[in-house]
Amino acid sequence: MMTLNTISRFALLAVVVSLAACSSLESDKIDYKSAGKAPTLEVPPDLTQLSRDNRYAIPGGAVSANTYQAGLSNAPGMPTAVSSVGDVRMERAGSQRWLVINRTPEQLWDPVKDFWQESGFLITTEQRNLGIMETDWAENRAKLPQDVIRSTIGKFMDSLYSTGELDRFRTRMERTPNGTEIFVSHRGMQEVYSTARQDATMWQPRPSDPELEAEFLRRLMVKLGVSQEQSKAIVAAGAPIQTSKIADVNGQPVVQISEGFERAWRRVGLALDRTGFTVEDRDRTAGTYFVRYVPPNPNKSEPGLFGKLFTFGSGKTEAPLKFRILVKGSGNSSTVSVLDGSGAPDSSANAKRIVQVIADDLK
């Protein structure tokens, strides 16, 4: 026979189940929480190298420059087929999107920084001289299952729950004659078992998520004055069809893009951000990105897109190499090629691999 206390407990459990179901239906799909206190992730040696240069991030803090002189553009004209509201518009090519805003980088820097902090991230890198801002690694808590146990005790023991995935975002601003272009690129990590007995885990890269990039660009539009309804309509708008392919020109691998220089320059820059290259500098007038690249370790498996660029973990890695990525436009088409550190055409295996990675991201 059930006692009154037992009945009360069942009634309470029913209420909890009901509330849990409601909360799971109404919960947001994005709810980030900084992982700043989580175990330190292994990072590519190429990125670790940057901490030795005080132009970049200072370990344990952020850099704030007094001036901002990122990416002056001398090329006239703006691409067509865009969606805009007020002084904010979004451009799209394939899976890539970016914002064009009729405000200066100086006017946008603090609002953009506030936006990421309000979204649950810490800012770990501020390179105002290059127009680059990076978040820390954070976990999307909205991916956690909204079961009864978590709904009842999760608020008190939330640290026991983990999605096994972390994300970070890079924001890059480029000054234009009419304002600023803002690019957002995503990098992801996932926790996987490192032993057959599944008694230990390790972090490894996972591919970038264009839909996450699009969602944060949409939310940034709202931060900058666009309504929720307008921003959703803009993101949902279709994109002009563009093509890219790998070709061989005079024995050198290149990417051929069916777009003029302006759009090709933007898209190649976003592809480099996405795929984890370290862009040390850029010269838009000359169409050149100066990058660092770490060849993959042939003795290790390549766990996806990032694995083609970096070797994560505790194994031995090769020293980073310096390259130049050259974008040359001719009318409505452009060619992307790889030069070595001295500026000479490069047809090595690494150059072919870099061309392939760029071409894959431009699809």
235-271 pLDDT per residue, tens: 887 666 667 899 999 889 999 999 899 989 999 999 9
pLDDT higher than threshold 60 for residue 274:
yes
Q: Output the six-digit token pair for 5.
A: 């206390």
194, 202 contact by CB (below 8 A)? yes
| 62 pLDDT above the threshold of 80 | no
Q: Let me know if 7 is exposed, middle or buried by CB neighbors in 10 A (0-12, 13-18, 19+).
A: exposed
The CATH code for residues 242-363 is 3.30.310.170
Phi, psi of 37 (to 5 degrees): -100, 5
Domain segments of the chain: what residues?
26-240, 242-363
pLDDT in tens, 69-95: 433 333 333 333 446 678 999 988 877
Q: How many CB atoms lie within 10 A of CB 303?
A: 17
pLDDT of 166 higher than 80: yes
**289 phi, psi to nearest 5 deg:** -105, 130
Residue 4: the pLDDT is 44
pTM beyond 0.75, yes or no? no
* pLDDT value at residue 279: 86
The two three-digit tokens of residue 150, written as one number: 């978590």
Residues 49-76, mean pLDDT to the nearest whole number: 31
pLDDT greater than 90 at residue 320: no
Percent of the chain scoring above 70 in pLDDT: 65
Which residues 6+ apart lie within 8 Å of 268 measured at CB?
Answer: 289, 325, 327, 336, 358, 362
Model pLDDT, residue 286: 95
Which pLDDT band, with edges at 50, 70 and 90, does 318 fall under?
Answer: low
